[in-house]
Amino acid sequence: MALAGFGFSSAVGAADVGLAWDANPETDIAKYQLSYGTSPGQYTQVKEVGRDTRTLVTNLEAGRTYYFAVSAVNYAGMQSDLSAEVSYQTPPLYFNLNLAWNPNPETDISAYRLSYGTSSGQYNQVVDVGRDTRATVSNLEQGKTYYFVVTAVNYAGMASDPSSELIYNGAPASAVASSYTLLEQDSPSVSSLSSVYGSQLDLMNSYLGGDSAGGVDASLSPTASHVTADPDGDGVKESYLVFSYRRTQLVASDSSIAASVEVSGDLASDWQDSSRLRGVVELVEANAAAPGVDIVRVYLPTSLATNGRLFARLAVTKQAP
């Protein structure tokens, strides 16, 4: 009995696969049983097919490999050996990502260009955004990490240096209907700066664990990922946007410096300090990035999203001495 397969991906992101097999030559076959799972030879699901020699298996997880085998059962309840195993890899899930950035301070900006790719510093896709400071990137593949930069172009056609790189670690199947977005703030609001830091960007870079004299290091950029987790340890897993960033212990211990992760649902309303919002959990791993450099992960419940959008940024300020 040979098992063959054909498949297609449904519009909602789950995958279906149609399977067909040769009929068992015995005359007393009462039904067929299709067994399948996500590991070879280990079948966690069984589907009763009746006497048909084909069936449709629905709601398979996108981007996974499934393994199938079929057996025949006669009227006496005796089951045949399993057929040879066949496998099918469901198509990956694609999602859309909303991005936003601070406007270039120059007055002659004619357009912004958003560049991105799957390798840091290598951008094989370029989107001309016009003068908008936000864009939606479509058809990104679940499970892949994407890297984004934006440049400003003036009316003379001259392009600015690219922004620091933004990293996004993909999105799970539960994010099909909504996009959860990271907004990196390159120039945080700073009331006053001492000469130690020199500029707003140096302050941000120093806070994130870089060299204040060396400018912005793109590798220190905050990242975001969408997870299902239980960060507060209450035994209940929920959906979160995780905003992660490095924090230098020396700079963070300076009482004149304040840092917070702020969120917005639509960018039109005021930014809110996430620590004041219900359900937000912050976890710190000491010395996780380097000696004296912590990793801070702020778990933002996706229920905070407005119309399927949730923007987050890191704001660092320093008061005058």
Spell out the domain ranges in the chain: 3-89, 94-318
Residue 207 near residue 189, CB atoms below 8 Å = no
Tell me the pLDDT of the chain averaged across its residues.
75
Q: Which uninterrupted H or E stretch holds 77?
A: none
Query: What's residue 318's pLDDT?
Result: 67
Query: Cα angle vertex 110, ends 109, 114, to 5°?
Result: 90
pLDDT digits (tens, 9 = 90+) for 62-73: 778 899 999 999
With pLDDT > 90 as the criterion, what percentage of the chain qualifies? 12
pLDDT band at 215 (very low <50, low <70, confident <90, very high): very low
Is residue 193 predicted with pLDDT exceeding 50? no
Strand partners, 45: 36
Residue 133 near residue 112, CB atoms below 8 Å = yes
Tell me if 3-89 shares its fold with 94-318: yes
For domain 94-318, give its CATH number from 2.60.40.10, 2.160.10.10, 3.40.50.11540, 3.30.460.80.
2.60.40.10
pLDDT band at 203 (very low <50, low <70, confident <90, very high): low
Q: Please name the residue that has the structure tokens 């799970």.
A: 172
Interatomic CA distance for residues 239 and 298, integer angstroms = 13
Question: What 8-state DSSP symbol labels residue 229?
Answer: E
pLDDT digits (tens, 9 = 90+) for 93-102: 776 777 777 7
Written as six digits, the tokens of 79 are 């089951």
pLDDT band at 268 (very low <50, low <70, confident <90, very high): low
Query: What's residue 172's pLDDT?
Result: 40
CATH of domain 3-89: 2.60.40.10
Q: Average of pLDDT values for 229-235? A: 89
pLDDT band at 1 (very low <50, low <70, confident <90, very high): very low
Q: Average of pLDDT values for 51-58? A: 88
Residue 54 near residue 18, CB atoms below 8 Å = yes
